[in-house]
Every structure is written in structure tokens, then in C-alpha cells.
């Protein structure tokens, strides 16, 4: 009897200790799942979201859910309420009669705290077609642009950067001219410090005016890596200079948008091509493997570079920006930076002229021309680079492509996907 009592006391103490381990856990725990595991449907199907929720460990009961749904990045076209019963509820998403994505946002309140979640689902997403025009002289324009740039010096400045160098990686800063007007781009080039030959990899930046640091991760994976900026700003610029450039450049993606030959991204796209030329001039290059990778604006520039430079033989692009930007003009989501999504969006600009110019710069029209294998990833819940715009790009790529869809992701990617992409790039270089 005494031994039994001691055993019961031990079990009780263990139970108390387990409860203490979970102390501090959130009172409400909930999960939202589409009734198709991959969040993909055919046109005309009517998805429902299943919501499982516990409060203090017990299934919520009688708690009201408010929901609203609509097409990707558009105003909601349906709203309603549902009620949790025994910890579960279901809400409708609505359907579509054309290929695209829809979102559903749910909100509920427990003990004065609010909880919300948004889920997007796709309808015949592989059939989404671009809205942007494809200029007849697109190829001629870029051929002439790059021909002029090729007459410039390959590099104008090379500086050793000891603070980013060690026994494994040597890092230099370079400045590369892009156009006859004196435009240039800067970048860090990180070279594996082992005396061997290596693949080269361009890593364009995401959007914004900010400090860019070298990508030592890829260099330590065996790639000679060019981490670039796009504004002609030295990599070692002071905080004051970066702040001044940020103020000066503002919404740089609208700069000269009515003029094809003067648009801001012309120098940027040319700079990416020139960066590849520079990488291929390095004695440490293995002479055969040339890649480019990036996300958001960097994803856009990766696809652009793969299309413009014939020596690029692999690309890994994540949720590319600048994709099918004309979407909002026909009532559907367009890519970052949401050009002319509202009536008061830069009213001083002639939209017709601007969208005509964007035909030469939209990622869709470069994607049509990609010939090398690609690894692509995007999240359905991304509102910065909406999945509707990304799919418009991926669907026109005819080259071999591996598409990794992560429905739960917003404007970021999972670490596991990063590892998968790096492994894919390394396999390509074997």
C-alpha cells in the first residue's frame, strides 16, 4: 500500500511538472486549413476553410467567427458569420469563373483578445495568363541596349574588404559601369579562398534603398557570389548617405516611367548583365556554371538576367516582383509595386504611356524568353507579390522548371525551401 501511494504521488508530481512546462502557452490555439490539402481548386469549385480552435485546452463552443472573402488583393465581395461548435467551424471562400486566387480572412474574439488569419486558394492557377503587352520590338530594344553597354569598361573600381574576408572567403567591392550617362552598380564579390575553380552566382537585392551585405552563405557553399546593389551607392556608404539617398530616390520604380529609354530599371537590368560579365572574367570561375538567385525585386532581377544573358544556365527565383503590373487595370492583382492600383496613385503620370513602357520591363516578358532550368518558389498568402501575378510569370516559362508552392507563406520563404534551392543549384553545377 505504501509503495502504491508513493507511486501515485510520483505520478501526480510528474503531471504537475508537465503542466508547468506548458506554462505561458497562448490561451487560444487555432489552425485554419483549406478542404483541399494543396489549396488548389478547379474553376467553379467552392472551397471551405476548416477552423479548429481551443481555448484553455477545450474546444471553442458558441464563439462567433466573422469572415470576408474576395479575389486576390481586391475588395471583399462576400462577408458573413459562423459559430464554433465543439472546437470546429467552416467558412466559405467563394469561387471563380476565371483562373486566379481568392482570399478569406477570419476573425474571432475570446476573453477580449482578437485572433485573425488569412488563407488564399488558387483556381486553375496553371491557366492564369498575363495582362501586360509584349512589345514587338522588345528583343531589338534590349539587344541594342546591351550592345552599347558592352562598349564600356568591364569594371572601374576594385577594393579589398578585409572585414568581410577570412580563411574561407575573400571579399572585394567592385563598381561596374552600366550606361553612357555614367550610371553604375556596386557589389560585393565573395570568392571561396581555397585556390579552386567555382561556379559564379549573382544575388540581386530586394526592393528599397538600404545597406547590402555580402552573401557569405553561398560563398561557403562553393559559389563565387556577387551581392549587388542597384542605386549606384557604394557598399560602404555612411548611414547618413544611405538616408539621404533614400529620401532622394523615394518611389524610384516610378522614375521616368513614361520614357522607355530613360526608365529607372534600364540601368538596373543592364547592370545585372554586366555583373555576370564581370563574374565570368574572374580566374577563379570554373568556366561553365553561371547562376542567379534572389527574392522579390531580387527574384524579378534574377529572371530578367536569366533572359538577357545567354551564359546564365540556372536561375532560382522567389516570389518575383515587377510581374504583370498591369493587372490592376483589368480588375485583378498585379505585381509589386501595385502600379496604379488606386485612382490617386501618382495621378501626374500618364498611365497609358507608363504601361506601354512597362511592357519592356515587366518580368512576364523576360520569363517568356528564359531558356535555362529554373527553381521557383512563392507563397499563396503573399500580398506584396500576389500569387496571381507570380503565376502569370511562371506559366509562360517554357524552359525546364521546378515550382515549389508553399501556400502558408506570405512575403518570405521557409528555411527548408532555402536549403532545397541551394541543393538544387549545387546539383546543377555537378
320-358 pLDDT, tens digit per residue, is 999 999 999 999 999 999 999 998 899 999 999 999 999
367-390 pLDDT, tens digit per residue, is 999 999 999 999 999 999 999 999
pLDDT of 47 = 98
386-397 pLDDT, tens digit per residue, is 999 999 999 999
Catalytic residue among 215, 296, 323, 389: 296
Please state the rounded mean pLDDT for residues 110-136: 98
Verify cis geometry, omega within 30 degrees of 0, for the bond prior to 337: yes
pLDDT of 334 = 98
The CA-based diameter of the chain, rounded to the nearest angstrom, is 95
Rg (CA), the chain: 25
pLDDT of 181 = 87
2-39 pLDDT, tens digit per residue, is 444 444 444 444 443 344 436 778 999 999 999 999 99
Three-state DSSP string of the chain: CHHHHHHHHHHHHHHHHHHHHCCCCCCEEEEEEECCCCCEECCCCCCEEEEEEEECCEECCCCEEEEEEEECCCCCCEEEEEECECCEEEEECCCCCCCEEEEEEEEEEECCEEEEEEEEEEECHHHCCCCCCCCCCHHHHHHHHHHHHCCCCCCCEEEECHHHCCCCEEEEEEEEECCCCCCEEEEEEEEECCCCCEEEEEECCCCCCCCCCCCHHHHHCCCEEEEECCCCCCCCCCHHHHHHHHHHHCCHHHCCCCCCCCCHHHHHHHHHHHHHHHHHHCCCEEEEEEEEEEECHHHHHHHHHHHHCCCCCEEEEECCCCCCHHHHHHCCCCCCCCCCCCCCCCCCCCHHHHHHHHCCCCHHHHHCCCCCCEEEEECCCCCCCCHHHHHHHHCCCCCCEEEEECCCCCCCCCHHHHHHHHHHHHHHCC
Could you tell me which residues are beta bridge partners of residue 103?
70, 120
Catalytic residue among 190, 313, 382, 389: 382
Could you tell me which residues are beta bridge partners of residue 314?
291
pLDDT of 406 = 98
CA distance from start to end of the chain: 69
37-88 pLDDT, tens digit per residue, is 999 999 999 999 999 999 999 999 999 999 999 999 999 999 999 999 999 9
Indicate the range of 33-42, 87-96, 177-186 predicted with least confidence: 177-186
pLDDT of 25 = 86
What average pLDDT does the chain have? 94
Contact 270, 280 (CB under 8 A): no
Residue 236's pLDDT band, with cuts at 50, 70 and 90, is confident
Residue 180's pLDDT band, with cuts at 50, 70 and 90, is confident
The answer to whether 296 is a known catalytic residue is: yes
pLDDT of 22 = 60
Single pTM value for the model: 0.94
pLDDT > 60? residue 102: yes
190-232 pLDDT, tens digit per residue, is 999 999 999 999 999 999 999 998 988 999 999 999 999 999 9
Amino acid at each position: 500500500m505504501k509503495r502504491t501511494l508513493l507511486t501515485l504521488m510520483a505520478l501526480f508530481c510528474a503531471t504537475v511538472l508537465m503542466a508547468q512546462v506548458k506554462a505561458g502557452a497562448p490561451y487560444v490555439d487555432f489552425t485554419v486549413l483549406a478542404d483541399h490539402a494543396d489549396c488548389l481548386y478547379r474553376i467553379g469549385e467552392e472551397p471551405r476553410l476548416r477552423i479548429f480552435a481551443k481555448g484553455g485546452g477545450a474546444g471553442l463552443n458558441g464563439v462567433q467567427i466573422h469572415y470576408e472573402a474576395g479575389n486576390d488583393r481586391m475588395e471583399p465581395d462576400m462577408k458573413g458569420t459562423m459559430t464554433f461548435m465543439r472546437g470546429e467551424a467552416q467558412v466559405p471562400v467563394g469561387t471563380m469563373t476565371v483562373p486566379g486566387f481568392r482570399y478569406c480572412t477570419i476573425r474571432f474574439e475570446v476573453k477580449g483578445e482578437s485572433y485573425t488569419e488569412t488563407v488564399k486558394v488558387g483556381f486553375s492557377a496553371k491557366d492564369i495568363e498575363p495582362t501586360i503587352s509584349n512589345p514587338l520590338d522588345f528583343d531589338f530594344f534590349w539587344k541594342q541596349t546591351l550592345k552599347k553597354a558592352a562598349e564600356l569598361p568591364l569594371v572601374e573600381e576594385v577594393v579589398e574588404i578585409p572585414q568581410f574576408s577570412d580563411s574561407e572567403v575573400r571579399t572585394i567591392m567592385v563598381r561596374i559601369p552600366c550606361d553612357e550617362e555614367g550610371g553604375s552598380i556596386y557589389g560585393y564579390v565573395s570568392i571561396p579562398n581555397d585556390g579552386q575553380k567555382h561556379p559564379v552566382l549573382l544575388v540581386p537585392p530586394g526592393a528599397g534603398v538600404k545597406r547590402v551585405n555580402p552573401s557569405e552563405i553561398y560563398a561557403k557553399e562553393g559559389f563565387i557570389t556577387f551581392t549587388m546593389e542597384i542605386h549606384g551607392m557604394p557598399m560602404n556608404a555612411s548611414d547618413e548617405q544611405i538616408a539621404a539617398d533614400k529620401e532622394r530616390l523615394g518611389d524610384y520604380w516610378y522614375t521616368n516611367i513614361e520614357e522607355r529609354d530613360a526608365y529607372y530599371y534600364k540601368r538596373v537590368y543592364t547592370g545585372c548583365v554586366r555583373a555576370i560579365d564581370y563574374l565570368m572574367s574572374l580566374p577563379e570561375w570554373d568556366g561553365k556554371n553561371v547562376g542567379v538567385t534572389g527574392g522579390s525585386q531580387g527574384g524579378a532581377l534574377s529572371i530578367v538576367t536569366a533572359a538577357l544573358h545567354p551564359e546564365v544556365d540556372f536561375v532560382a527565383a522567389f516570389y518575383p516582383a515587377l510581374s504583370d503590373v498591369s493587372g490592376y487595370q483589368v480588375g485583378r492583382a498585379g505585381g509589386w509595386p501595385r502600379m496604379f492600383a488606386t485612382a490617386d496613385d501618382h495621378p501626374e503620370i500618364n498611365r497609358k504611356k507608363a504601361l506601354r513602357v512597362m511592357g519592356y520591363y515587366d518580368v512576364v516578358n523576360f520569363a517568356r524568353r528564359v531558356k535555362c532550368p529554373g527553381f521557383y518558389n512563392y507563397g499563396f498568402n503573399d500580398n506584396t507579390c500576389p500569387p496571381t501575378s507570380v503565376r502569370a510569370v511562371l506559366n509562360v516559362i517554357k524552359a525546364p522548371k521546378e515550382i515549389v508552392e508553399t501556400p502558408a507563406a506570405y512575403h518570405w520563404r521557409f528555411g527548408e525551401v532555402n536549403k532545397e534551392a541551394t541543393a538544387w543549384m549545387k546539383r546543377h553545377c555537378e
